[in-house]
Structure 1
Amino acid sequence: MRVFDNVTRRWGLSERMKLQLLGCAEHEFRDWVRDARRHKPLILEVAVLMRISAILGVFGHLRQLTNGTAEERCWLTRQIAAPPFEGKAPIELLGHSLESQMDVRRHLIARVVGQHPPNAVDEAFEKYTDNDLIWI
């Protein structure tokens, strides 16, 4: 939960968007983050864990494809014509169902392994090589 919160802060997401990403209520999210920051044990539903995993996977793949936070944010917020986005920004899909989150993750996996060519939005993005990230 701490890593999820750090990633979503890095992306500059609102609390409302964080709630959409996890599919949870505001009070649950705040309790989880509070307890995680205090290093208390958490019990999360499988659906929430799956969503966290999907978002962290997206983050990991974006780190491989971009040159830092600004490019990550840019990619997340730009409309992309190619499937699965169909003219929507990736962050919009991430705020829907787990399946939509996995669609975004699968798209990025394909980009990482070079299975489909970049579209116009993605052409300027280069692989991110700095693997040193400190979580506070």
Structure 2
Amino acid sequence: MAIGIVSGRDPQVELPRIDVARFAPANRRRLSAPALRTFTAIADLWGLNEEQRRLILGYPSRSTYQSWCKQAREHGDITLDVDVLTRISALLGIHQALGVLFADEHDGVHWLLRTHDAAVFGGHPPINFVTNGTQDGLMTVRRFLDAARGGAYMAPNALDAAFDAYDDSEIVFS
């Protein structure tokens, strides 16, 4: 008995591939120092210690991390690998989403640090997921905040909580 996969696709048709040029060393070198400087500024704002910072970046050795930071500060050449840049990108997305959701950046930091009752966080602070050392932890928080930006999951803020829904008579088409 043969087992096969039935597909409606023509086996001769190739699926689109990602643009691998963005992973080229020259492109990663161009992005690495500015990305790490931005990462450091956000980590400072969030009050992260060196251990937490290294966990976010995939836990490079202490000397490697310090070397990266020194090169970035001095605008030197460093080339971070794709995993590290992906992690930094996720952190930048988290920071951006917090900026959209909270008018005061300190409120966003407070959200990260306090326990959260959303099922995905299980009563733990989101920062625990950000600093657990996995891309999955970073992406969990990023996806949650992206969904919150779209109106899912988050409780309404003070302005929205007091908002009375429009009824049909108040909607005017011109």
SS of the residue aligned with 2:124? coil
Unaligned runs of 5+ in 1: 127-136
Cα deviation, 1:40-62, whole Å, max 9, x if unaligned, reads 11111111111111101100100
The runs of at least 4 aligned residues of structure 1 exceeding 2 Å deviation read 123-126
**2:164 — aligned with what?**
none
Superposition RMSD in Å: 1.6
Cα deviation, 1:58-88, whole Å, max 9, x if unaligned, reads 0010010112232122111111121321111
Share of identical aligned residues, percent?
A: 32
Q: Distance in 2 between the 1:33 and 1:83 partners? A: 36
**1:52 — aligned with what?**
88
Q: Distance in 1 between the 2:72 and 2:158 partners? A: 34
* Equivalent residue for 2:55, pick from 8, 15, 20: 20
TM score, norm. by length of structure 1: 0.83
Count of equivalent residues: 122
Residue 113 (structure 2) pairs with residue 77 (structure 1): yes
TM score, norm. by length of structure 2: 0.66
Mapped contact 2:118–2:153 kept (Cα < 8 A) = no
SS of the residue aligned with 1:44? coil
The structure whose Rg is larger is 2
Q: Distance in 1 between the 2:78 and 2:104 partners? A: 30
SS of the residue aligned with 1:28? helix
